[in-house]
Amino acid sequence: MEFYIDTADLAQIKEAMSWGILEGVTTNPSIVAREKRGFEELIREIARETPGKVWCEVIGTDADTMVEEARMFRNWADRVVVKLPMGAEGVKAASRLSKEGIETNMTLVYSVGQAVLAAKAGVGYVSPYLGRVDDVAWSGATLIGGIVETFARLGLPTKVIAASVRGPQQVIDMLNLGVHAVTTSYSVWAAMMKHPMTDIGLEGFLRDWKEAGL
């Protein structure tokens, strides 16, 4: 079971890493763009803030460019996981990078068939998008459950990392489906630590302790 924070906000990353429960940081081009900083500078800083994996996504659209970017990312951070977009070019790049020992993740996976082809290409992870599938009136949980079951049946070593996870209950739902990893926002992980009954119980303990004069 692996947990990742999906952000490029350094303040959030630093705080989240202090919890001691996360395996690293995932990013994508949109997340990086929001920070309005140089890509290399940002990734290097993120790598300094986490002892775990740092996930970087290519922006090239052909296999040769993707491979070049992946090698560049590896120079920025030796614990990098290179995110590739699903498609023929992404599959080509994944196959080549797996032979070089560069860990990859196939992102934007929306079918079991795509996931199987990505696994066959040697990726370490596939990223099906829970919330985005739900947004188009289908079941993201059904898709992700199908991928998990198919990988288990075929004995594929590729891990399933659930993405586009939008709330604490969705994290639990994904774990119950047997996903190997989850990435979500700082706010979701922070919310998952809280419960009103926990607050009520703690207030009661502290009140009783104070009243006892201990």
d(CA 163, CA 145): 13
Q: What are the residue ranges in the chain where pLDDT is below 70?
A: none
d(CA 77, CA 158): 22
Catalytic residue among 14, 36, 53, 83: 83
State pLDDT tens for residues 144-153. 999 999 999 9
**3-state secondary structure at position 63:** helix
Instruction: Name all domains of the chain by residue range, CATH numbers in brackets.
Output: 2-211 (3.20.20.70)
Q: Would you give the distance in Å from CA 22 to the centre of its chain? A: 10
User: Measuring CA to CA, which residue among 57, 41, 78, 70 is closest to residue 6?
Assistant: 57
State pLDDT tens for residues 73-123. 999 999 999 999 999 999 999 999 999 999 999 999 999 999 999 999 999
pLDDT value at residue 131: 80
Stated as kind and residue range, the H or E segment containing 4 is strand 2-6
pLDDT value at residue 87: 98
- Catalytic residue at 36? no
pLDDT value at residue 138: 87
pLDDT value at residue 186: 99
What's the pTM value of the predicted model, to 2 decimals? 0.94
